[in-house]
Amino acid sequence: MNEIIIRGGKPLEGTLRVQGAKNSVLPILAATVLHPGRSLIRGCPRLSDVEASVRILRHLGCEARWEGPDLAVDAAPLCRWDIPDCLMREMRSSVIFLGAILARCGRAETSYPGGCELGPRPVDLHLAALRKLGARVREEGGRLCCEAGEMAGREIALSLPSVGATENLILAACGAAGETLIVNAAREPEIGDLQAFLQAMGCDVRGAGTSTVRVVGRQRTRDAVHTVMPDRIAAATYLAAVAAAGGEVELTNVRASHLSTVTAALHEAGCEVCGDEERLSLRSGGALRSIGTVRTAPYPGFPTDAQAILMAALLRSRGATVFVENIFENRYRHVDELCRMGADVHVADRVAVVTGVERLSGAAVRCTDLRGGAALLVAGLAAQGTTRIGEVHHIRRGYEDPVRDLRALGADIEERP
């Protein structure tokens, strides 16, 4: 199994282009199922989760092939509506295929999703919403068996603004008769990107980015070309890396408005941050200060995916910072690994208190999940000595080539078998 080796203590300098968004492209790939024709996804990041989605598409009968940095999908030959357990277990967002297959085929069969162990996700929200559209859903031996029946649009209020449930409901509603009104919808930018792709395909979807989304189902679809939005969490990771290690880096292919809570936290910690909707630059002397309480929340609040990353950046800050995790139950699994490097972090239930230390030391650590692995990258860049990170397959789920990117900024980093 591969490991990433970092010899820390070097400031980062240079310019880096941010990859396409993982959390955007996965529902878009599921949405390609809706159209019996060709979709071209430009700037599709080459991630293990994307490859898992491609395997699902091919199992369903679709054709999917890489054309340089783009991914072309032809869903015309789709001939199945089931996804086997081995494919569902590869990633947590695999459940997003449920609504799209149901809309296209009138039935769908999957198991529960796998992926990082961050605690239970409210799959019941997805199923309850599908039932309100008129779908019949039953569980048999760990499988979810769904039949569309006579799906008809109606007003559906989500009890929580779940990103996955919002996306699944949008996709299913594309196959329902009439108008569906989704109330208390998630507002994350990635839902706006899904809407843009669906509109390019000919679907009638409006309101993404607000708490109310309207879908008029059963529209005539067409071949579509779409460029994936920038990955705001990858951008946050590289900003945090510069904040922790010191230096000055400019990121391109970013949308600053999507990163406002992260950049505000880094600015409060003592970094100089400036930019516009296309570029962001950050300068840090590496000596940060503690900041006010960080509470994760649905967008536009502080993203749960950036919690571990910001925590790693503040491990050597002056003072103490409190983190409150409001989204996932098990989002502090990376803390024990950070403490191996000399970090002072104490966790009680959903609260973590980070007291800055003068020095971090390189150590042998392992990735516990995707964003926890990114946090170890950030900490390793700030530590003295050599950090060896194991189980890096977690990182590959969401970052195209972090070793290449960080090396381009001057980091002493490599990956070895």
Buried/exposed 37-70: b ≥16 CB within 10 Å, e otherwise = ebbbbebbbebbbbebbbebbeebebebeeeeee
End-to-end C-alpha distance for the chain, whole angstroms: 6
Report how far residue 6's alpha carbon sits from residue 379's, in angstroms, rounded to the nearest whole number. Answer: 10
Q: Kindly list the catalytic residues.
A: 116
Q: Which residues contact 364 (CB under 8 A, 6 or more apart)?
A: 340, 387, 388, 390
Helix (H) or strand (E) holding 179: strand 179-183
Q: Per DSSP, what are the bridge partners of residue 212?
A: 183
Determine the residue type at 46. R
Model pLDDT, residue 92:
72
Other C-beta atoms closer than 10 Å to the C-beta of 292 total: 9
Low-confidence ranges of the chain (pLDDT < 50): 115-120
Report how far residue 367's alpha carbon sits from residue 160's, in angstroms, rounded to the nearest whole number. Answer: 29
Report how far residue 248's alpha carbon sits from residue 308's, in angstroms, rounded to the nearest whole number. Answer: 22
φ, ψ at 251 (rounded to 5°): -105, 135
Model pLDDT, residue 139:
85
Model pLDDT, residue 343:
98
Residue 11, token pair as written in the block: 């400031």
Model pLDDT, residue 121:
52
Model pLDDT, residue 91:
82
Residue with tokens 């230390």, as numbered in its chain? 357
